[in-house]
Amino acid sequence: MKQPRWIKPLFYAVVILACLFFILPVVWTVISSLKPESDIQSYPPSWIPAQVTLSNYRTVLEKFPYFTWMANSLIVAVVGTLGILVASTMAAYALARFHFRGRRVLYQSIIVMLLVPMQAYVIPLYLMAGKMDLLNTLQGLILPSVANVTSIFILHAFFRELPMELEEAARIDGAGEFRIFWQIMLPLSGPALSTVTILTFIANWNAFLWPMIAVRQDIMKTLPVAISQYWGAVNQNASFQYGTALAACCMAVLPTLVVYFALQRYFVAGIASSGIKG
Protein backbone atom coordinates (compact mmCIF):
# COMPACT_ATOMS: atom_id res chain seq x y z
CA MET A 1 0.00 0.00 0.00
CA LYS A 2 2.09 2.86 -1.24
CA GLN A 3 0.85 6.25 -0.15
CA PRO A 4 0.32 8.85 -2.84
CA ARG A 5 2.61 11.83 -2.40
CA TRP A 6 -0.10 14.34 -1.58
CA ILE A 7 -1.43 12.36 1.36
CA LYS A 8 1.10 13.29 4.06
CA PRO A 9 0.61 17.05 3.62
CA LEU A 10 -3.14 16.48 3.72
CA PHE A 11 -2.79 14.55 6.99
CA TYR A 12 -0.72 17.33 8.48
CA ALA A 13 -3.21 19.93 7.38
CA VAL A 14 -6.13 18.10 9.00
CA VAL A 15 -4.27 17.42 12.22
CA ILE A 16 -3.07 21.00 12.51
CA LEU A 17 -6.58 22.32 11.90
CA ALA A 18 -7.91 19.98 14.58
CA CYS A 19 -5.28 21.19 17.03
CA LEU A 20 -6.14 24.81 16.30
CA PHE A 21 -9.78 23.98 16.96
CA PHE A 22 -8.82 22.55 20.36
CA ILE A 23 -6.39 25.22 21.46
CA LEU A 24 -7.66 28.51 20.01
CA PRO A 25 -10.65 28.89 22.35
CA VAL A 26 -8.24 28.56 25.27
CA VAL A 27 -5.74 31.01 23.77
CA TRP A 28 -8.53 33.46 23.01
CA THR A 29 -9.70 33.27 26.63
CA VAL A 30 -6.22 34.05 27.93
CA ILE A 31 -5.73 36.92 25.49
CA SER A 32 -9.12 38.44 26.28
CA SER A 33 -8.52 38.20 30.03
CA LEU A 34 -5.44 40.41 29.59
CA LYS A 35 -7.33 43.24 27.89
CA PRO A 36 -9.07 46.12 29.64
CA GLU A 37 -12.86 45.79 29.49
CA SER A 38 -13.15 48.63 26.95
CA ASP A 39 -10.92 46.68 24.54
CA ILE A 40 -12.75 43.40 25.17
CA GLN A 41 -16.13 44.78 24.21
CA SER A 42 -14.94 46.46 21.06
CA TYR A 43 -15.24 45.75 17.40
CA PRO A 44 -13.45 44.19 15.57
CA PRO A 45 -11.95 41.70 18.07
CA SER A 46 -8.16 41.55 17.86
CA TRP A 47 -5.84 38.66 18.63
CA ILE A 48 -3.08 41.01 19.65
CA PRO A 49 -4.10 43.16 22.61
CA ALA A 50 -3.46 46.87 22.09
CA GLN A 51 -2.81 47.11 25.79
CA VAL A 52 -1.92 44.29 28.19
CA THR A 53 -3.20 44.67 31.72
CA LEU A 54 -3.64 42.54 34.83
CA SER A 55 -6.45 44.74 36.09
CA ASN A 56 -9.06 42.02 35.54
CA TYR A 57 -7.06 39.66 37.69
CA ARG A 58 -6.68 42.31 40.36
CA THR A 59 -10.43 42.92 40.36
CA VAL A 60 -11.15 39.22 40.82
CA LEU A 61 -8.71 38.87 43.69
CA GLU A 62 -9.74 42.08 45.44
CA LYS A 63 -13.51 42.06 45.05
CA PHE A 64 -14.18 38.37 45.53
CA PRO A 65 -13.06 35.78 48.13
CA TYR A 66 -11.14 34.11 45.35
CA PHE A 67 -8.34 32.75 47.52
CA THR A 68 -10.88 31.19 49.87
CA TRP A 69 -12.57 29.46 46.96
CA MET A 70 -9.23 28.29 45.66
CA ALA A 71 -8.24 26.99 49.09
CA ASN A 72 -11.55 25.11 49.31
CA SER A 73 -10.97 23.63 45.88
CA LEU A 74 -7.42 22.62 46.76
CA ILE A 75 -8.38 21.03 50.07
CA VAL A 76 -11.23 19.10 48.49
CA ALA A 77 -9.14 17.92 45.54
CA VAL A 78 -5.99 17.04 47.50
CA VAL A 79 -7.62 15.39 50.51
CA GLY A 80 -10.11 13.62 48.27
CA THR A 81 -7.33 12.29 46.08
CA LEU A 82 -5.34 11.10 49.10
CA GLY A 83 -8.44 9.42 50.46
CA ILE A 84 -8.99 7.63 47.16
CA LEU A 85 -5.35 6.56 47.05
CA VAL A 86 -5.57 4.96 50.51
CA ALA A 87 -9.05 3.46 50.37
CA SER A 88 -9.09 2.33 46.75
CA THR A 89 -5.58 0.92 46.75
CA MET A 90 -6.29 -1.29 49.74
CA ALA A 91 -9.69 -2.35 48.49
CA ALA A 92 -8.51 -3.03 44.95
CA TYR A 93 -5.58 -5.02 46.32
CA ALA A 94 -7.89 -7.17 48.42
CA LEU A 95 -10.23 -7.69 45.47
CA ALA A 96 -7.36 -8.65 43.20
CA ARG A 97 -5.10 -10.77 45.43
CA PHE A 98 -6.94 -12.24 48.41
CA HIS A 99 -9.01 -15.40 48.24
CA PHE A 100 -12.38 -15.11 49.88
CA ARG A 101 -15.94 -15.99 49.07
CA GLY A 102 -18.01 -13.48 47.17
CA ARG A 103 -14.98 -11.68 45.80
CA ARG A 104 -16.22 -11.62 42.20
CA VAL A 105 -19.72 -10.54 43.13
CA LEU A 106 -18.37 -7.76 45.33
CA TYR A 107 -16.05 -6.54 42.59
CA GLN A 108 -18.79 -6.58 40.01
CA SER A 109 -21.30 -4.77 42.19
CA ILE A 110 -18.75 -1.99 42.67
CA ILE A 111 -17.82 -1.81 38.99
CA VAL A 112 -21.40 -1.66 37.75
CA MET A 113 -21.62 1.72 39.47
CA LEU A 114 -19.41 3.08 36.69
CA LEU A 115 -22.63 3.28 34.69
CA VAL A 116 -24.56 5.11 37.39
CA PRO A 117 -23.61 8.79 37.22
CA MET A 118 -23.82 11.14 40.18
CA GLN A 119 -26.79 12.75 38.40
CA ALA A 120 -28.83 9.63 39.11
CA TYR A 121 -28.34 9.54 42.89
CA VAL A 122 -27.62 13.10 43.93
CA ILE A 123 -30.98 13.70 45.64
CA PRO A 124 -30.75 10.80 48.13
CA LEU A 125 -27.12 11.73 48.66
CA TYR A 126 -28.24 15.25 49.54
CA LEU A 127 -30.82 13.93 52.01
CA MET A 128 -28.26 11.66 53.66
CA ALA A 129 -25.60 14.34 53.84
CA GLY A 130 -28.20 16.59 55.45
CA LYS A 131 -28.96 13.98 58.10
CA MET A 132 -25.24 13.60 58.79
CA ASP A 133 -24.70 17.38 59.05
CA LEU A 134 -22.31 17.32 56.12
CA LEU A 135 -23.94 20.06 54.06
CA ASN A 136 -21.92 23.28 53.80
CA THR A 137 -18.76 21.50 54.98
CA LEU A 138 -15.64 20.44 53.13
CA GLN A 139 -15.93 16.92 54.57
CA GLY A 140 -19.28 16.74 52.89
CA LEU A 141 -17.59 17.42 49.56
CA ILE A 142 -14.65 15.08 50.17
CA LEU A 143 -16.33 11.92 51.47
CA PRO A 144 -18.61 11.24 48.47
CA SER A 145 -15.65 11.77 46.14
CA VAL A 146 -13.72 9.01 47.93
CA ALA A 147 -16.39 6.51 46.87
CA ASN A 148 -14.60 6.44 43.52
CA VAL A 149 -15.06 3.52 41.14
CA THR A 150 -12.66 4.24 38.28
CA SER A 151 -9.70 3.96 40.67
CA ILE A 152 -10.85 0.51 41.79
CA PHE A 153 -11.07 -0.53 38.16
CA ILE A 154 -7.58 0.68 37.24
CA LEU A 155 -5.84 -0.58 40.39
CA HIS A 156 -7.62 -3.94 40.34
CA ALA A 157 -6.46 -4.53 36.77
CA PHE A 158 -2.95 -3.54 37.77
CA PHE A 159 -2.69 -5.72 40.89
CA ARG A 160 -4.01 -8.74 39.03
CA GLU A 161 -1.14 -8.53 36.56
CA LEU A 162 1.60 -8.56 39.19
CA PRO A 163 3.26 -11.99 39.21
CA MET A 164 2.23 -14.45 41.93
CA GLU A 165 5.82 -15.54 42.56
CA LEU A 166 6.69 -12.29 44.32
CA GLU A 167 4.03 -12.89 46.88
CA GLU A 168 4.78 -16.58 47.34
CA ALA A 169 8.48 -15.93 47.90
CA ALA A 170 7.77 -13.28 50.51
CA ARG A 171 5.30 -15.54 52.24
CA ILE A 172 7.85 -18.34 52.46
CA ASP A 173 10.19 -15.83 54.07
CA GLY A 174 7.50 -15.32 56.68
CA ALA A 175 6.20 -11.91 55.66
CA GLY A 176 2.67 -11.05 56.72
CA GLU A 177 0.01 -9.96 54.23
CA PHE A 178 0.28 -6.34 55.22
CA ARG A 179 4.04 -6.33 54.81
CA ILE A 180 3.73 -7.95 51.39
CA PHE A 181 1.31 -5.21 50.39
CA TRP A 182 3.30 -2.36 51.86
CA GLN A 183 6.89 -3.37 51.11
CA ILE A 184 6.61 -5.42 47.94
CA MET A 185 3.46 -4.55 46.03
CA LEU A 186 3.15 -0.81 46.64
CA PRO A 187 6.70 0.07 45.56
CA LEU A 188 5.92 -1.63 42.25
CA SER A 189 2.72 0.32 41.76
CA GLY A 190 4.12 3.74 40.88
CA PRO A 191 2.64 3.98 37.38
CA ALA A 192 -0.82 2.79 38.43
CA LEU A 193 -0.85 5.12 41.44
CA SER A 194 0.26 8.06 39.28
CA THR A 195 -2.56 7.32 36.86
CA VAL A 196 -5.12 7.23 39.63
CA THR A 197 -3.69 10.38 41.20
CA ILE A 198 -3.99 12.49 38.08
CA LEU A 199 -7.39 11.16 37.00
CA THR A 200 -8.96 11.63 40.42
CA PHE A 201 -7.31 14.96 41.14
CA ILE A 202 -8.71 16.41 37.95
CA ALA A 203 -12.12 14.84 38.51
CA ASN A 204 -12.25 16.27 42.04
CA TRP A 205 -10.96 19.67 40.98
CA ASN A 206 -13.56 19.88 38.20
CA ALA A 207 -16.48 18.51 40.25
CA PHE A 208 -19.58 20.64 39.87
CA LEU A 209 -23.01 19.17 40.53
CA TRP A 210 -22.43 17.87 44.04
CA PRO A 211 -20.45 20.89 45.32
CA MET A 212 -23.14 23.15 43.95
CA ILE A 213 -25.92 21.27 45.73
CA ALA A 214 -24.09 20.52 48.96
CA VAL A 215 -22.75 24.02 49.59
CA ARG A 216 -24.88 27.16 49.61
CA GLN A 217 -22.65 29.38 51.73
CA ASP A 218 -20.51 31.60 49.55
CA ILE A 219 -17.24 31.21 51.43
CA MET A 220 -17.50 27.39 51.47
CA LYS A 221 -17.80 27.13 47.69
CA THR A 222 -15.25 25.60 45.36
CA LEU A 223 -13.97 27.47 42.32
CA PRO A 224 -16.09 25.86 39.57
CA VAL A 225 -19.29 26.55 41.50
CA ALA A 226 -18.41 30.05 42.65
CA ILE A 227 -17.28 31.12 39.20
CA SER A 228 -20.33 29.69 37.48
CA GLN A 229 -22.64 31.45 39.90
CA TYR A 230 -20.99 34.83 39.58
CA TRP A 231 -20.18 34.70 35.89
CA GLY A 232 -22.43 32.01 34.39
CA ALA A 233 -25.78 32.22 32.60
CA VAL A 234 -27.70 32.76 35.85
CA ASN A 235 -25.95 36.06 36.30
CA GLN A 236 -25.73 37.39 32.76
CA ASN A 237 -27.06 40.87 32.26
CA ALA A 238 -26.35 43.99 30.26
CA SER A 239 -23.49 45.16 32.47
CA PHE A 240 -21.77 41.78 32.42
CA GLN A 241 -17.97 42.14 32.56
CA TYR A 242 -16.24 39.50 30.48
CA GLY A 243 -12.78 40.62 31.56
CA THR A 244 -13.21 39.62 35.20
CA ALA A 245 -15.07 36.45 34.23
CA LEU A 246 -12.28 35.29 31.96
CA ALA A 247 -9.56 36.21 34.44
CA ALA A 248 -11.34 34.15 37.10
CA CYS A 249 -11.56 31.27 34.61
CA CYS A 250 -7.88 31.40 33.68
CA MET A 251 -6.73 31.26 37.30
CA ALA A 252 -9.06 28.36 38.02
CA VAL A 253 -7.82 26.13 35.23
CA LEU A 254 -4.14 26.84 35.84
CA PRO A 255 -3.67 24.12 38.52
CA THR A 256 -5.28 21.46 36.32
CA LEU A 257 -3.07 22.40 33.41
CA VAL A 258 0.05 22.25 35.60
CA VAL A 259 -0.89 18.80 36.92
CA TYR A 260 -1.84 17.68 33.43
CA PHE A 261 1.44 18.71 31.83
CA ALA A 262 3.49 17.30 34.70
CA LEU A 263 1.81 13.89 34.67
CA GLN A 264 0.34 13.74 31.17
CA ARG A 265 2.10 10.49 30.28
CA TYR A 266 0.14 8.78 33.04
CA PHE A 267 -3.00 10.65 32.10
CA VAL A 268 -2.99 9.26 28.58
CA ALA A 269 -2.17 5.78 29.88
CA GLY A 270 -4.96 6.15 32.41
CA ILE A 271 -7.62 7.09 29.89
CA ALA A 272 -6.48 4.31 27.59
CA SER A 273 -6.45 1.63 30.28
CA SER A 274 -9.69 2.76 31.91
CA GLY A 275 -11.26 2.14 28.55
CA ILE A 276 -9.62 -0.85 26.93
CA LYS A 277 -10.32 -3.47 29.54
CA GLY A 278 -13.76 -2.16 30.32
Partner 1 sequence: MRRNQWKIAVLFLLPYIVIFSVFRFVPSVGGLLVSFFKWSLGGNPKFIGVDNYVNLAQDSSFYVAIKNTLAFFVLTVPVLVVASLLLAMLLNQKLAGRKVMRTISIIPYVLIPSIVGIMWNWIYDNNFGLLNYYIKKLGGGPVFWLTNERFALVAVSIVVVWTYIGYDMILFLAGLQGIPKETYEAAEVDGASRMQVFWHITLPLLKPVTMMVSTLTLVNVVQLFDQIYVMTNGGPGTSTLTMVQYMYTSAFTNYELGYGSAIEVVILLLLMVLITVQNRIGNRERKTA
Beta carbon of residue 101, minimum distance to partner 1 (angstroms, whole number): 7
Residue 114 in contact with residue 51, Cβ under 8 Å? no
Instruction: Say how many residues make up the chain.
Output: 278
Q: Are 274 and 153 in contact (CB under 8 A)?
A: yes
55 vs 256, beta carbon nearer partner 1: 256
Q: Whose Cβ is closer to partner 1: residue 1's or residue 50's?
A: 1
Given 3-state DSSP classes, what are the helix, strand and coil percentages for the chain, each rounded to the nearest 5? 75, 0, 25
Give Dmax (Cα) for the chain: 77
Contact between 127 and 251 (Cβ < 8 Å): no
Q: Give min distance, CB of 78 to partner 1, in A.
A: 16
Nearer to partner 1 among residue 124 and residue 187 (C-beta): 124
Least distance from partner 1 to the Cβ atom of residue 212, Å: 8
CB nearer to partner 1: pick between 121 and 166: 121
- Residues 6 or more apart whose Cβ sits within 8 Å of residue 69: 221, 222, 223, 226, 227
Nearest distance from C-beta of residue 193 to partner 1, angstroms: 15
User: Least distance (Å) from partner 1 to the CB of residue 265?
Assistant: 10
Least separation in angstroms between residue 215's CB and partner 1 is 12
CB of 54 to partner 1, least distance (A): 18
Closest-CA residue to 214 (of 148, 150, 277, 122): 122
Measure CA of the first residue to CA of the last residue in the chain; give whole Å.
33
- Considering the complex, state which of residue 119 and residue 217 has its C-beta at the smaller distance from partner 1: 119
**Element (H or E) spanning 158, and its range?**
helix 150-161
Quickly count: other Cβ atoms within 10 Å of residue 264's Cβ: 12
Residue with Cβ nearer partner 1 (34 or 110): 110
Q: Considering the complex, state which of residue 53 and residue 256 has its C-beta at the smaller distance from partner 1.
A: 256
Give the Cα-Cα-Cα angle 115, 83, 196 (nearest 5 degrees).
55
Q: Does 163 sit behind a cis peptide bond, omega within 30 degrees of 0 on the bond before it?
A: no
